[in-house]
Chains A and B, each alone.
Chain A
Amino acid sequence: MKIVVLVKEVPDSYGERKLNLTTGLAEREASEKVLDEITGRAVEVAVSYAESAQEAEVALLAVGPASAEATLRKTLAMGGDSAHHVVDEGLAGADLTLTAEVIAAALERIGFDLVIAGDVSSDGTGGLIPTMVAQRLGTAHATSLDAVEITDSAVAGERAAYGGTVRVQAPLPAVVSVTERLPDPRFPGFKGIMSAKKKPLETYTLADLGVEAEADVPRSIMLSVSETPARMSGEKITDDGDAGTRLAEYLIQRRLV
């Protein structure tokens, strides 16, 4: 069984995140780069299955700028046997369709039985890539799983549906994504960090994968970007025993109740 985890590096949401007001692209220097929290959970699902399974191999795949290599190494410290990094100038500002094409091409190159991703990234908030990749690869998708069970030949889990929840099951090969209902990832130990340095990490360009970023297919392009003015704080009082009453008066005065 070969599991590939889709690894995304994102600007740290605890810090400041900026867009360049001319290009609309992420201001890479403004923020610290971290592994997207939801990716950590996807890695944990893969690594904990691999520990319990007879023969399972875990590979990590990231598509992103050169900095993503450091994030891949850090992620390898949590587990996983190898890492794969698609890095190419042509990917700057890539839209969803190009990104899905690149990931699918890389997965075809690496080989997989099961692909695990986070459901929605904290920077792009699209939540579309895993299913787009599955469709390109002609495999089943089972996304936004709140619980996951992996066997030799299938993957099953639970997810939200209109007016309830469903249990879904997909034969392998398949692409799944997990929600933040899945457990937190482990902390990499010293051993993990040391061994991560020696694990194979391969890089690919778009040309290696036969993907043409400039192909004349429909793409989404950004037309404009503007910064929302920061919100100001207003009145702040300390409760001296009458704050509830004062709040009631505030709300009534402003016709908010």
Chain B
Amino acid sequence: MTMVEQNTPERNTSEPNILVFLPVLPSGELLGSAAELLGAASALGTPVGVILAPAGKGHAAAEAAGQCGAARVFTAEHKVTGSLLTTPYLEVVAAAWEATGPEAVLVPNDVDGRDIAALLSVRTGSAIASDVVGVHRDEEGVVAHHSVYGSGYTTESAPTHGTLIITLREGAVDDRAPAAEPVVETLELNGAGLDEPPGTAASITEFTESVEASTRPDLRGAKTVVSGGRGLGSKEGFELAGQLADELGAGLGASRAAVDAGYAAHSLQVGQTGVTVTPDLYIALGISGAVQHQAGMQTAKTIVAVNKDPEAPIFDIADFGIVGDAFEVVPQLIETLRAKGQ
């Protein structure tokens, strides 16, 4: 790793640097979590973005990071296929760490983010706070907030000393940083992790871009979420949830049973082993409300449930529960909303 362009102006050295790993899509766009990652970082110090973008897309991605509040951005470019798994990400984050001596590092709590955090922690001997839902600073430094046992408890943690590495739960932080004109520094990757001894890293042999057919808002950040369960009976039946979601401009979710039955993609799964959502309105259609499902949605502000079974546990946490057939209730709901011009 070499620095080809270093252009560091005088900085306010009293503000600690907070490194933020910002994932980039093949299109060059920043992942939706960028705003909340930088928002969380801005509550702790100066947000410094770290970007590894497809060839030719680094600069635009850095600009976008500035829009989300990055005061400084390190960028590098690479190709996913043929590279080593995680290593290129780790190399750019490590180079930015060298250059900034951060007080905390934030990465999204997703498959790649977790690997970066894990490697960085071992390499630098730093403490990790995982699946963090919020951060603040006290007299002694960075404090991480966690939501434990499916929102049953809230805990706070801190490192005994040293830099804290944080994996941030997607959709959990509402803070946003004001847009900034970032200082951009370009890093050159030596080649995908050539400094790694052979045989100690997995390689990526193929990348398949997902065809995003959905125009719906992302489940994690949506103000309203409509989820369907096994009770919708079939892939066709599950369309009912999709229809209502589109009517309300809502994100679409699913229970694990609906995912397992093939009604919905795994990325839509809400719950303990899926996505955790905190929308203003959550509508559960044909979902029994098992604890593991509740773990992912019980912090929604308003919960509506439609279920045939009056004993379904979802009713224990629903603000408005309807004992009835979703295939009768939902079409009437849509019709009424349209009639009232909503």
Interface residues of A (CB under 8 A from B): 11, 13-14, 17-19, 24, 38, 95-97, 100, 120, 122-132, 135-136, 138-144, 156, 159-171, 174, 180-181, 217-228, 231, 233-239, 241-252, 254, 256-257
Contacts and interface: CB of A to CB of B under 8 A. Distances in A.
B202 interface: yes
Nearest to B323: A238
Interface in B238-286: 248, 256, 266, 272-273, 280-281
B255 to A, nearest CB: 13
Mostly, the B contact residues are mixed
A168 B164 CA distance: 29
B316 A122 contact: no
B167 interface: yes
Contacts of B197: 138
Contact of A234 (B202, B320, B332, B335): B320
Contact of A220 (B85, B118, B158, B340): B158
A219 B342 contact: no
Given A168-B203, A221-B157, A233-B318, 6 more contacts: A96-B128, A161-B80, A164-B207, A164-B209, A166-B80, A248-B332
B302 interface: yes
A247 B322 contact: yes
A168 B202 contact: yes
Interface majority SS (helix, strand, loop, mixed), chain A: mixed
B7 interface: no
B25 interface: yes
Interface of B: 23-27, 31, 80-81, 85-86, 109-112, 114-115, 117-119, 121-123, 125-131, 143, 147-164, 167, 197, 199-210, 224, 248, 256, 266, 272-273, 280-281, 290-292, 295, 298, 302-304, 306, 310, 315-325, 328-337, 340, 342
A17 B152 contact: yes
A168 B204 contact: yes
Contacts of B291: 13-14
A156 to B, nearest CB: 8
A178 B310 CA distance: 37
A127 B130 contact: yes
Contacts of A220: 127-129, 157-160, 164
B155 A181 contact: no
B150 A13 contact: yes
B329 A97 contact: no
Contact of A168 (B85, B110, B126, B167): B85
A38 B317 CA distance: 27
Given A135-B122, A140-B200, A228-B154, A239 B324 contact: yes
